[in-house]
Structure 1
Amino acid sequence: MSVNKIALAGNPNTGKSTLFNTLTGLKQHTGNWPGKTVVHAEGSFEHNGEQYVLVDLPGTYSLFSNSADEEVARDYIIFDQPDATIVVLDATSLERNLNLALQVLEMTNKVIICINLIDEAEKKGIRIDDKKLARELGVPVVKISARNKKGIDQLLDTLNQLVHGQIVTTPYRMTYSKEIEEAILKVESKIKGYFDGKYPSRWIALRLLDGDEELILKLQNHKNNRQGEEITNGVPVSVKS
């Protein structure tokens, strides 16, 4: 039986760890990510006869690799390529939390937006139209209360459908100025072939244009070296020519 790898991402204090504990119970263990002091939490659970491994990524506000936590979270989504990424948002601070969600949507199509603390939001008179949000973001949106186990079955059913291709997503992608979009297209057209379609080319183009040198080195390490080509000054040689 195959095991589905699931990433759990979110800002700090969104109830992400509560959801992790709710899903995995006692079937979990912790340690450190290789070469990092960042805690690695992993657990397992079953649903509808399916086996899942859930990786609780460090709570972060962005995935730009400005800290060890951000680097770990970003690298897992890009290089380990989980079967799905659940992004946990705080229903009472939705606008602030959406920043991370939009970054994840740039990186992978296999995303579920999980709006937690929905009971707290309702107490404050906050109403969230999950169906409209799903249409806007192009991915499933599920409202839950991890603490009270409300909406968990719907979340798991949605996860099952997503990993089996029964849900087709069209993730929202940020649109930038005309100049930036033209630069993205130019770089993206080159790197699609360079990385053999293994990684999200638009996201990589954005990171290259932003001069993310550390990511460039990691991409080199994860790619079979191609004769006569190297990456310098933040852009592949083939892109620069």
Structure 2
Amino acid sequence: MTNPIRVALAGNPNTGKSTLFNALTGLRQHTGNWAGKTVSLAEGKVQYKGKTYSFIDLPGTYSLFSNSTDEEVARNYIVFEKPDVTLVVLDATSLERNFNLALQVLEMTTNVIVCINLIDEAEKKGIKINERILTNKLGVPVIKLSARNKVGFDLLLDTIERIANGTIECKPTLMTYSDEIEEQIYKIEPYIRGMIGDRLSSRWVSLRLLDGDEKLLNEINKRLRLEEVKITDEYSTAIL
């Protein structure tokens, strides 16, 4: 049996993220506390065209700067657990407010789908959204859907599978910062890359360290130590 395709759902509160999760997974879900935190994550499975998809509903947050436990848990899952695909769920009626989180996720990971939910509500308000233009600008698939009415689910699942198997290659458009910040990134990114390799985005880690994110640095150090222990244990087992 092949491993399920792991999909993380991120989004601001009240974007319909959990509605999407519930509509996709139905009763095939369970919850549990994450990594010793009091925050619980829901996980549910979907069977579609012979494939199994495992969806993880991350806490609703407005950012991923680890200013709260919810933000830290959501961020750590995306960057350290490395889901096959991360869905960023946006509210079609207030895209400008929601895009802050989407742009943060695009800096953190490559395999991203931007899901524009509540498209039926947007249409009632006369809001028109061109997902093709957004796809070209963001460098990742943008899909319009209505979680409440289960509209767009087939396209969403097909797109997830095509990203997971490499048929679709995501090339997220990254934010460009002031000359001063870009110069600092240029200076420290080689050192960061030397420390973490390709485990994480060295540009994103550089940005977070320039912002003084000590929690992230501590988490990276902890994870690297755990990897070293795991590698040592595997080597010891191999030579016995």
Match of 1:183 in 2: 184
- With the length of structure 2 as denominator, give the TM-score of the two structures: 0.92
* Letter aligned with residue 170 of structure 1: K
Report sequence identity in percent: 62
User: What is the one-letter code of the residue matched to 1:146?
Assistant: A
How much has 1:39 moved relative to structure 2?
2.0
Name the stretch that deviates more: 175-184 or 118-127. 175-184
The residue aligned with 2:206 is 205
Aligned match of 2:91 = 90
Measured after TM superposition, the shift of residue 32 of structure 1 is 1.9
State the secondary structure of the residue aligned to 2:151.
Answer: coil
- Cα RMSD over matched residues? 1.4
Q: Which moved more, 1:8-17 or 1:25-34?
A: 25-34
TM-fit CA distance, 1:225: 8.3
1:52-201 paired onto structure 2 within 5 Å? 52-201=53-202
Distance 2:217 2:35 in 1: 19
Runs of 4+ in 1 over 2 A off after TM superposition: 224-227
The letter for the 2-side match of 1:210 is D
Residue aligning to 2:232: none
Aligned counterparts of 1:92 and 1:76: Cα–Cα separation in 2: 28
After TM superposition, give the deviation of residue 226 of structure 1 in Å. 11
Change (3 A) 1:69 1:13: same
Is the contact between residue 5 and residue 161 of structure 2 (CA under 8 Å) also seen in structure 1? no
The corresponding residue for 1:49 is 50
Structure 1 residues without counterparts, runs of 5 or longer: 228-241
> Cα 1:189–1:45, aligned 2, differ >3 Å: closer, same or farther?
same
Deviations 1:112-146 (A, max 9, x none): 00000000000000000000001000000000000
How big is the shift at 1:4?
Answer: 1.3
- Which segment is superposed worse, 190-199 or 75-84? 190-199
- Give a deviation string over 1:87-106, Cα, whole Å, max 9, x none: 00000000100000000000
The C-alpha deviation readout for 1:189-209, integer Å capped at 9, x for no partner, is: 111111122111000000111
Q: Which residue of 1 aligns with 2:222?
A: 221
Aligned residue for 2:231?
none
Once the two structures are TM-superposed, the CA of residue 38 in structure 1 deviates from its matched residue by 1.3
Unaligned segments of structure 2, at least 5 residues: 229-240
Counterpart for residue 22 of structure 1: 23
Give the Cα–Cα distance (whole angstroms) in 1 for the partners of residues 34 and 131 of structure 2.
34
Aligned length: 227
| Structure 1 CA distance for aligned equivalents of residues 41 and 139 of structure 2 | 30
* Distance change in 2, residues 1:43/1:180 (3 Å): same
Query: What is the Cα deviation at residue 31 of structure 1?
Result: 2.3
| CA–CA distance in structure 2, aligned partners of residues 136 and 187 of structure 1 | 28
Local SS of the residue matching 1:22: helix
Structure with the largest fraction of helix: 2
Q: How many Å separate the matches in 2 of 1:117 and 1:39? A: 25
